Structure 1
């Protein structure tokens, strides 16, 4: 039996995996830079560049702070680049922005139908994101897949942060699965390295975020265009 056939649980990243990163988060990135710069346009541009986004094109560098960082890491990077806040004060503002941004998110597919299908096949399901837990739950509720989740973990949920293994171990504790029975699905190396560090049975990269086949190949067992191709991989 191959390790693919032993998978009984799937732990998804959120942004760039369940949600189209460019459509959902590039507009939010412009807004967070404006907030962090207190409206100073020149400073906002510098903050975006420092955190990995081209302010003219909206291109976000794979595995940069804006691609993979949690709120504390993004706030720290922006304060170090000149944002006139303390890290804690900026973190609070950004967490509020991110939670409210769930209303603007664009899913990569009909997530309610997608999760319902996996649930019907017996998979245990979870979301582990570098976003805050409130934002994950708001997103799941908005798109109607909250009822299918066995587990939710944000950077502030107490399981540690990516690429540490804690979120995967928390999923295992919540579901009774062993790490080798879990597939981790994500759009950047923080997700995939989290899976590898936890001993996950499968790491699957998707291309709806900031990564590319080249940047994701080393840490993934499979690289697929988007999550709709996942069941073929699991079979």
Structure 2
């Protein structure tokens, strides 16, 4: 699998991005909106943590959700917003600044506990365990990198029946830094013995794609099962697909014609 050429993704100022041409040997997946349906999994959790942060004040809870990126009229979280792309500590800090009366570490910990417990109700986009088995049969190294905590990530993967013995799993609290910085990709590459130019990142958010570019990955693949639209992803993606259910077909026809 090689990145398409021509029609490489662009930077925000329109310059072409040069990506490596080494065949893909590993795939690093985002979790929420990529492996699991974002709205079905996260809508109740977002409301729960907002109510916690607001200490039962419904007006403040609504305000915190709005700050987080929840669009009341559309009944969805906006792509690129705090709730869509940021990690727990960043969300907690923004909510405290907006009036939530908590200490940062305590609120972050309480929110992470809710997120980890909520993993038991995660709704997969497809049969993730079976997809991962098929991808492994192609000889691909696999990993999951999320802005959620590592404990919640592992709980979600267990819920989905994914075997994690040879799977790289990183959360915002795993010591690699947060997205869109390249640390999670770099950790995956070290763990799997791969160069970044042999890795594809798959995610539903610009933070995922920016992470791929920051690390020098061979491909940044956007999916539409999360919070971002095709137009939002297109200028940074090597390819955009409806969901990871279409990933194998994309791999079979890579590089994508311009």
Regarding TM over 0.5, the answer is: yes
The residue that corresponds to 2:134 in the other structure is: 117
Residues matched between the structures, number: 235
User: What TM-score do the two structures reach when normalised by structure 2?
Assistant: 0.88
- Residue ranges of structure 1 left out of the alignment (5+ in a row): none
Residue among 135, 147, 152 paired with 2:164: 147
Residue among 207, 213, 216 paired with 2:224: 207
Residue among 53, 70, 77 paired with 2:70: 53
Structure 1 residue ranges (4+ consecutive) displaced by more than 6 angstroms after TM superposition: none
What do residues 127-181 of structure 1 show as CA deviations (whole Å, max 9, x unaligned)? 0000000011111111111336421100000001100000000000000111011
For the Cα contact (< 8 Å) 1:70–1:155, is it kept in 2?
yes
- For the aligned residue pairs, the C-alpha RMSD in angstroms reads 1.4
| Structure 1 residue 27, shift from structure 2 partner | 1.1
Greater mean alpha carbon deviation, residues 145-154 or residues 202-211: 145-154
For the Cα contact (< 8 Å) 1:115–1:148, is it kept in 2?
no
Equivalent position SS for 2:235? coil
Superposition pairs for residues 6-25 of structure 1, below 5 Å?
A: 6-25=23-42
Q: Pick the structure with greater CA Rg.
A: 2
Q: Does 1:168 align with 2:164?
A: no
Cα distance in 2 between the residues matched to 1:124 and 1:203: 16
Equivalent position SS for 2:45? helix
Superposition pairs for residues 6-155 of structure 1, below 5 Å?
A: 6-55=23-72, 57-147=74-164, 149-155=166-172
Cα distance in 1 between the residues matched to 2:26 and 2:82: 28
For the Cα contact (< 8 Å) 2:2–2:24, is it kept in 1?
no
| Structure 1 residue 42, shift from structure 2 partner | 0.7
Q: Does 1:179 align with 2:196?
A: yes
| Structure 1 residue 112, shift from structure 2 partner | 1.2
For the Cα contact (< 8 Å) 1:10–1:125, is it kept in 2?
yes
- Residue ranges of structure 2 left out of the alignment (5+ in a row): 5-21, 253-258
Greater mean alpha carbon deviation, residues 82-91 or residues 208-217: 82-91
Q: Does 1:218 align with 2:235?
A: yes
| Structure 1 residue 123, shift from structure 2 partner | 0.6
Q: Does 1:156 align with 2:146?
A: no
User: What TM-score do the two structures reach when normalised by structure 1?
Assistant: 0.96
Cα distance in 1 between the residues matched to 2:132 and 2:2: 24
For the Cα contact (< 8 Å) 1:7–1:234, is it kept in 2?
no
| Structure 1 residue 100, shift from structure 2 partner | 0.5
Identify, as 1 or 2, the structure richer in helix.
Answer: 1
